[in-house]
Amino acid sequence: MKLAIICRPFVFHGGLETATAGLIGEFVRQGHEVHLFSTAGQRDVPGVRLHRLKVIAAPSLARVVSFALAAKAAVSRDRFDVIQSHERTLVQDVYRAGEGCHRAYLDVKARQLGALARAALRANPYHRALLSLERRIFSPAGTRHIVAISRLGKTEIQRLYGLPDSRVSVIYNGVDQERFQPANRERYGAGMRAALGIQQSAWVVLFVGSGFERKGLGPLVEGFALTKTRESRLVVVGKGEQAPYRALAARLGVAERIVWAGAQPTVEQYYAAADAVALPALYE
């Protein structure tokens, strides 16, 4: 088949990006003709025809709208058996809801805010644009099929947009059991702790995720500050704006106990060095 995949630039360290890379790689292995529509930051992918879209990078509202418009224009120049989008766009046969339902996320976030902040959140042009695209995607004519990555995601989409079971499937992200396995503890644990400057006897909590606000890094830092053991460490792996969380850690007196690792391609080694993994996400 001739397939079009629409997605943001992907590498191999984020959860969403890894799932996209694995899917595309399997399509190529099976002999399909794969066309990838992404932005200028996307690297070449073996066996894939890459179409780089011209997108306004900032502000976020312009990025979302310009990506949706550019993707529609580029895909419309050719004919495809299936168009699958991993982003909120204006054209797709299959939509993979890898970030869940934005309307559900805003409902969760609004419950954490006061009345004025809730009103500002709802009026934010960026969120309004995402909601508009989402309504279009989940409308009867918007998309032939929706792929949710969890039962919760499917339930939220159906509850908020009234989609029947026949239009929504759940396909979980796969896990590479060769890459993530208990033997990694012995293989990588001590070496990674040494590389991070962490004592072998320390109690280590690992946070992995990008988009720190949605992933709940703030409450995690606050909770970590309650721990009494000075040797304990919080290791933060992922991409995001660190400054406000570094400031929070400094105010709480735990700045020297947090290791900021950034995005990492070998995240399995960080898991091997940890005693506990924290999953404090506001919304997944």
User: Are residue 17 and residue 39 in the same domain, yes or no?
Assistant: yes
User: Are residue 160 and residue 193 in the same domain, yes or no?
Assistant: no
User: Are residue 46 and residue 75 in the same domain, yes or no?
Assistant: yes
Q: Walk along the chain (284 residues) and give the pLDDT tens digit of each residue.
A: 999 999 988 765 445 557 788 889 899 999 999 999 999 989 899 999 999 999 999 999 999 999 999 999 999 999 999 999 999 999 999 999 999 999 999 999 999 899 999 999 999 999 999 999 999 999 988 899 999 999 999 999 999 999 999 999 999 988 889 999 999 999 999 999 999 999 999 999 999 998 899 999 999 999 999 998 889 999 999 999 999 999 999 999 999 999 999 999 899 999 999 999 999 998 88
> Degrees (nearest 5) of the Cα angle 243, 249, 250?
90
Q: What is the CATH number of the domain that holds 212?
A: 3.40.50.2000
Residue 124 in domain: yes
Contact 231, 201 (CB under 8 A): yes
Torsion region of 276: left, alpha or beta (phi above 0 gives left; psi -120 to 50 gives alpha)? beta
Residue 84 and residue 86: Cα distance in Å, rounded? 7
> What is the reported pTM?
0.87
Is the bond into 59 cis (omega within 30 degrees of 0)? Answer: yes
Residue 179 in domain: no
Residue 238 in domain: yes
Residue 257 in domain: yes
Residue 10 and residue 18: Cα distance in Å, rounded? 7
User: Are residue 149 and residue 244 in the same domain, yes or no?
Assistant: no
Residue 165 and residue 155: Cα distance in Å, rounded? 10
Beta-carbon contacts of 52 under 8 Å, excluding residues fewer than 6 positions away, are 38, 39, 40, 42
Residue 177 in domain: no
| pLDDT at 212 (0 to 100) | 94
Residue 100 in domain: yes
Helices 217-224 & 243-251, crossing angle to 10 degrees? 20
User: Are residue 18 and residue 158 in the same domain, yes or no?
Assistant: yes
DSSP string, 229-249: -TT-EEEEES-S--HHHHHHH
Tokens representing 14 are 């984020």
Contact 10, 21 (CB under 8 A): yes
User: Are residue 76 and residue 214 in the same domain, yes or no?
Assistant: no
Residue 178 in domain: no
| pLDDT at 34 (0 to 100) | 98
User: Are residue 94 and residue 25 in the same domain, yes or no?
Assistant: yes
Domains held by the chain: number: 2
User: Are residue 162 and residue 231 in the same domain, yes or no?
Assistant: no
Q: Which of 170, 192, 220 is the last residue of a domain?
A: 170
| pLDDT at 17 (0 to 100) | 58
Residue 18 and residue 253: Cα distance in Å, rounded? 35
User: Are residue 195 and residue 86 in the same domain, yes or no?
Assistant: no
Contact 260, 242 (CB under 8 A): yes
Range of the domain at 57: 2-170
User: Are residue 135 and residue 22 in the same domain, yes or no?
Assistant: yes
Residue whose structure tokens are 């391609």: 265
User: Are residue 261 and residue 130 in the same domain, yes or no?
Assistant: no
User: Are residue 140 and residue 201 in the same domain, yes or no?
Assistant: no
Residue whose structure tokens are 């179409």: 51
DSSP string, the chain: -EEEEE-----SSSHHHHHHHHHHHHHHHTT-EEEEEEETTPPP-TTEEEEEE----SSHHHHHHHHHHHHHHHHTTS--SEEEESS--S--SEEEETT--HHHHHHHHHTTS-HHHHHHHHH-HHHHHHHHHHHHHHSTTT-SEEEESSHHHHHHHHHHH---GGGEEE-PPP--TTTS-TTHHHHHHHHHHHHHT--TTS-EEEEE-SSHHHHTHHHHHHHHTT---TT-EEEEES-S--HHHHHHHHHTT-GGGEEEEES-TTHHHHHHH-SEE----S--
Tokens representing 246 are 């570094």
